[in-house]
Amino acid sequence: MRDDGAMSLAGWESRAVQEARSWTPGRCAVVFAVAVAVFHHVPLLAGAVDLHDATDLVTPFVVVAAALAALFSLRAPPRALVVAFVGAILYVDGHGIHLSANAIGNNPLSGHAAEVAHFWDEQFGHLWWHLGWFVLVAALCLAELGRRVELSRRRTATIVFLLGATLFTNTIEGGDWWLELAGTVVFCAWALAARRPLLIAFAGAFAFGAALIGIWAIWHGGEPQFSQLGWL
């Protein structure tokens, strides 16, 4: 007699294994780029209905989880995990500093209080947060040594566009665009030396972001923030 329960369990396990295998490193890398692009921008849109801070609380959970999923799919070696751990701490700490200082700064402040809120939000908070972001990307590139990655042209283009555009918007508004340019030099030099698919895609994203920063500088004769132009 056939055991329908056992057959159903076997079928579920088979589907679960197939689903797990479908989450290839290339697919996880795209998910990471999408997570960053969405959750680094959605809070600004949510601010129109006074939900900026509440929405932004989710950002570090989603982005770090996407990075961890990519690391898992890459079978990351220990040194990549150590770098990812450092990057995650910087990312979460910097984002928390930015979020809290920004929430305080949105209220009427004056004198030293306004200066302190501005420093922790617009200067230190953005720098610490974005540095953690870049370190997470570096960890993914290091993890690529643990498993061969195949990226289609479509997925490569998606990573370059989404991550590059986000690097541009975030570092311009964050006032740390110079950090993005430094990251471009590092990642492009690394990609030229190693020539691995995922590393090349991330380096292309940094290069695309740098190109947009250059266009922005030529257009405005400098690097003004979007908020300084009244766009936000």
Question: pLDDT tens digit string along 162-189?
Answer: 999 999 999 999 999 999 999 999 999 9
pTM attached to this predicted model: 0.87
Which pLDDT score is estimated for 63? 97
Which pLDDT score is estimated for 18? 47
What is the DSSP-derived secondary structure letter of residue 107? S
CA distance 108 to 117: 11
Which pLDDT score is estimated for 116? 75
Which pLDDT score is estimated for 219? 96
Q: Which residues of 174-205 are buried (b: 16+ CB within 10 A; e: fewer)?
A: bbbbebbeebbeebbebbeeeebbbbbbbbbb
Q: 216: closest CA among 185, 170, 183?
A: 170
Task: Report, as ranges of residue numbers, the positions in the chain whose pLDDT lies below 50.
Answer: 1-2, 7, 10, 12-14, 16-20
Which pLDDT score is estimated for 105? 60
Which pLDDT score is estimated for 1? 47
